[in-house]
Amino acid sequence: MKELSIHNLKQIDQYRWLLPRQGKMRTDGMLFLDRTLLEYIKNDKSITQVANVAWLPGIVGRSLAMPDMHQGYGFPIGGVAAFDPEKGVVSPGGVGYDINCGVRLLRSTLEKGEIASSIPELVESLFANIPTGVGSRQRHLKLNKQELKKVLESGAPWAVKKGFGIKDDLLHIEEGGSLDWADPGTVSDKALDRGQAQLGTLGSGNHFVEVGFVDKIFDRKLASGIGLFENQVTVIIHTGSRGLGHQVCGDYIRILQNASRKYGFDLPDRELCCAPINSPEGKKYLAAMAAAANFAFANRQIITEEVRQTFEQVLGTGRKKFGLDLVYDVCHNIAKYETHTVDGKPQEVVVHRKGATRAFPANHPKVPEAYRETGQPVLIPGDMGRYSYVLVGTEQGMHEAFGSTCHGAGRIMSRHAAKKFAKGHNVTAELAEMGVRVKGAGRATLVEEIPQAYKDVEDVVRVVHEAGLARKVARLRPMGVIKG
């Protein structure tokens, strides 16, 4: 397919750009961007990738891209697409290597001033208690394969049953922290080997644990409904399925490349390898993907308990004094069966979200009872030097974007470019001047994750809010961060 240039886009309004159906595209593309964010992606392949996704068989509605979009594998990061279960396909490129990379938010009963002096010790203790970095392994929780398969089958409920957290946590996780179509038998021995000692570990790259506070409230009623108040201490946990999920993706990319040829698919990009959803290959990928997603849910659940125990250790008090209740946990990289209104009628579809977040509105049956009146909390982390946001889903987002929104700020520098930019910079000292204590597994990680490597998440969230895909509730600022 001829490379699509930016000039094919038609501006619909300040925040919407239509990529008209052309060539072998089966549908239009829609990009949610303003002109500032559009400038960041003019020279990468993400717009072409939106068009490429629109080629895929059985796509329902438009091929969508969120305002944090940038070039990814197959799909753009920030890409969303839904497929008919009978006529459509499933693609690992629409989920990504870090299956169910996601984020969860904990809220405390503490105020910023109560722990300001404890931040250095909290950061050091969190780093000591939560294994971080490339290939990090859990020292105290190495499972045999039989037990690991129980994790893959159950997810976060397995962790709670083993004493990591409480049952109430499960009421505040997307899908209750468990995808019930998971089949550990579809996961390779190599993936199991990689996951055996990685449960309860943070990993590397952009994964982090951040102690922060509520810096600003945009909607007091919604914030109250979610349990947030100004200067409240919060904790964000961002990680995924670690080496196990990466191996599952790699295994099934090879399998689905063969399936693409077997089923005679005409694809614009081999990275969009796929199989019919109801084919043996498609069913096995979805079952293995769900197993890896359950591993990620359990991973974040165990880290949550490690965070709570660290607060007890450092503050010298029981958790009843500081809370750290789970607000919500959302997936970033996932494909799921969901029911959406298509052409005025309810239809089951398989929604791929690649670097995108589910954002369901108030009164949706999939929204936990605690948030039926507010809508699902939507968690949008930024870089480690600025801020993160809490939003809620909207009806407009349901109709226009399959209940989806952005997942973060979005990179504007490659890791190599970030290293080059940071030469001569003392990243730790510069962040300290900004009021953020940071500790990483090595200088390389901190350099790759410098704030300048990312778009300003405020710009991204503004587009989401003004376009009506989600509604701003609160802004959080970091005080202390550990990075992989």
Catalytic: 238?
no
Q: Which amino acid is at 400?
A: E
Phi, psi of 318 (to 5 degrees): -75, 160
The phi, psi pair for 297, rounded to 5°, reads -60, -45
Distance CA 428, CA 450 (A): 10
Question: Which amino acid, residue 401?
Answer: A
SS3 at position 448:
helix
Q: How far apart are CA 470 and CA 391, in angstroms?
A: 6
Say if CB 278 and CB 85 are below 8 A apart. Answer: yes
User: Which of 288, 226, 222 lies closest to 252, judged by CA?
Assistant: 288
Residue 246: DSSP 8-state: H
Q: Which of 407, 416, 425, 465 is catalytic?
A: 407
Beta strands in 92-231 (DSSP E): 102-111, 208-217
What is the number of alpha carbons within 13 Å of residue 293 lying toward its C-beta?
29
**Eight-class DSSP state of 5:** P
Rounded to whole angstroms, the Cα distance separating 281 from 278 reads 8
> Are 43 and 32 spatial neighbours (Cβ–Cβ below 8 Å)?
no
Residue 154 parent element (H or E)? helix 145-154
Residues paired with 60 in a beta bridge: 82
User: Which pair of structure tokens corresponds to residue 249?
Assistant: 């993706």
β-strand partners of 411:
454
Whole-angstrom distance, CA of residue 135 vs CA of residue 483: 13
Type of residue numbered 261? R
Active site residues: 407
